[in-house]
Amino acid sequence: MLCLGIESTAHTFACAVVEKNGKIHSDVRKIYRPPEGEGIHPREASRHHIESSTKVLVDSLQQARIKIKDLDIIAYAAGPGLGPCLRVGAVVARSLASYYKIPLYPVHHAIGHIDLGKLLTGAKDPLVLLVSGGHTMLLAFMKEKWRVFGETLDITLGQLLDQFGRSIGFASPCGKNIEELAAKTSTYIQLPYVVKGNDVSFSGLLSATKSISSQKEKACFSLQETAFAMISEATERALSFTKKKELMVVGGVAANKRLSNMLKSICKRQNCKFYVVPQQFAGDCGAQIAWTGLLEATAKKGSALENTFVRQSWRLDSVNINY
């Protein structure tokens, strides 16, 4: 069984073909890059997706060496995300599903990150740290739902890095630029450290880091150390509470080596296995959507076209998982 996955929640338009046995036959993406210092403009990003969609789709099918008629199902990211961007992916998916009579599966973008992470790392029952531009959450699976054991109270870890990065002139996504600058120093400047219960708050940290942005390298180093220590504290407490023996990190920020190193030391203390999604699949991609679509297809039929909506806001812990 082959599934085409279509991702378009934010800056990435991506298509991938994945087989039921977990083989990723193709993975093609085009990323909208806003001007340096600016964030994602939803309509500009959606125009990028419209211009890229046909080529990404064709390249994805060619890379997989198949034709559209060879597809058994199509899955698309139905949310959460930017409305204009989500609608482009949904229109592409519905057009193909309607014209070629292929079953269609709307998929939760963040659950795609988790499912693909489990496929690629081999984690069985992990505590999940989902860190991206759209989410900062600690999750454990129980009774058909991913339950939240801590999350951000304001902006996400990805937003923190992107907003600070943009303020010093980088273009989103800025995580890699910040990591490179941070690696050039080990001088720490004191910044606000806010953990409330098992939740974190980054907005004060963002403002304080902006106030020291003239010292770019020290600011980047201090920002990373503070934010990652906060999330690590919450993660260690969640591990201790849930007694999980695996920790898996997924989402775009999972590509950060410093974060991985901090989490590895926690896992060592808690006697638990550490998994991180491979860097190539840490960011948004079609494979995460295709794989979750395939998993959903094992438990239910495709959705009627008239019920295939997009949802800009869609809590991960509200999704029932029956596969």
Would you count residue 46 as binding other proteins (CB under 8 A)?
A: yes
- CB closer to other proteins out of 100 and 323: 100
* Omega before 278 within 30 of 0, i.e. cis: no
Would you count residue 30 as binding other proteins (CB under 8 A)?
A: no
| Spatial distance between the Cα atoms of 137 and 148, rounded to a whole number of angstroms | 7
Please, are residues 122 and 275 in contact by the beta-carbon 8 Å criterion? yes
* 253-312 positions binding other proteins, by CB under 8 A: 305-310
Select from 10, 18, 96, 160 the one that contacts other proteins (CB under 8 A). 96
Q: How far is the CB of 216 from other proteins (least distance, A)?
A: 38
Select from 21, 99, 143, 320 the one that contacts other proteins (CB under 8 A). 99
Select from 87, 108, 218, 244 the one that contacts other proteins (CB under 8 A). 87
- CB closer to other proteins out of 26 and 308: 308
Short-list 266, 319, 305, 272, CA closest to 95: 305
Say how many residues touch other proteins, by CB under 8 A: 25
Would you count residue 47 as binding other proteins (CB under 8 A)?
A: yes
Please, are residues 7 and 27 in contact by the beta-carbon 8 Å criterion? no
* Omega before 80 within 30 of 0, i.e. cis: yes
For the record, the structure tokens of 247 come out as: 């920790």
Select from 64, 92, 181, 200 the one that contacts other proteins (CB under 8 A). 92
- The distance from CA 190 to its chain's CA centroid, rounded to whole angstroms, is 29
34 burial (CB, 10 Å; 0-12 / 13-18 / 19+) is middle
Contacting residues toward other proteins, per CB under 8 A: 43, 46-47, 50, 53-54, 57, 84, 87-88, 90-92, 94-96, 98-100, 305-310
